[in-house]
Amino acid sequence: MLRRRDEIVLGFAGITPKLQFCIGTRGAAGIMVLHEGIVWDILVDFDVIEQRTADGRYRCRLCEPADLFPSREALWTSHCLEPMLAWTNEHFDASRSLLLFGQEGHTTYAQIRQTPDVAVGGPKAGAVYYCPLVQQAGTT
């Protein structure tokens, strides 16, 4: 875990270090792809713009109608952490690869694909970078 003044950055054990889960102090949360020191793409976001109601409950201002939660922890768990866990469980497995497309300083994007799909378009399917999603010990 890396804690900066305005965000917390978490890695995923056994997953390429190019994928990081970032939570900002203003409610931005998502899985980012970092390549050579730049944010290449944000694969998915789980933003929470919290608001405390007059009766002491919490809601996300991005949602209408908004569900009410008894605490900040309950809001963040339900609205951000559980969806992030479901997303990673669906997408993070050994049969998938991370591919990066584009050019630094221009449009860049990333995709997680089934590894056999990658082979159809050649070893990298036109990507500027390619790696298995699940990492063996000592690989990046």
Task: Express each pLDDT in 97-117 by its tens digit.
Answer: 999 999 878 899 999 998 866
Structural tokens at position 7: 């965000």
- Identify how many contiguous H helices and E strands the chain contains and give both numbers: 3, 10
2: confidence class by pLDDT, cuts 50, 70, 90: low
Please say if the pLDDT value at position 83 is more than 70: yes
pLDDT in tens, 21-60: 999 988 899 999 999 889 999 999 999 999 999 999 999 9
Q: Which pTM does this prediction carry?
A: 0.84
Write the single-letter amino acid at 4. Answer: R
Separation of alpha carbons 75 and 58, rounded Å: 7
140 CB burial (10 A radius; 0-12, 13-18, 19+)? exposed
76: confidence class by pLDDT, cuts 50, 70, 90: very high
Percent of the chain past pLDDT 90, that is, above it, reads: 67
61: confidence class by pLDDT, cuts 50, 70, 90: very high
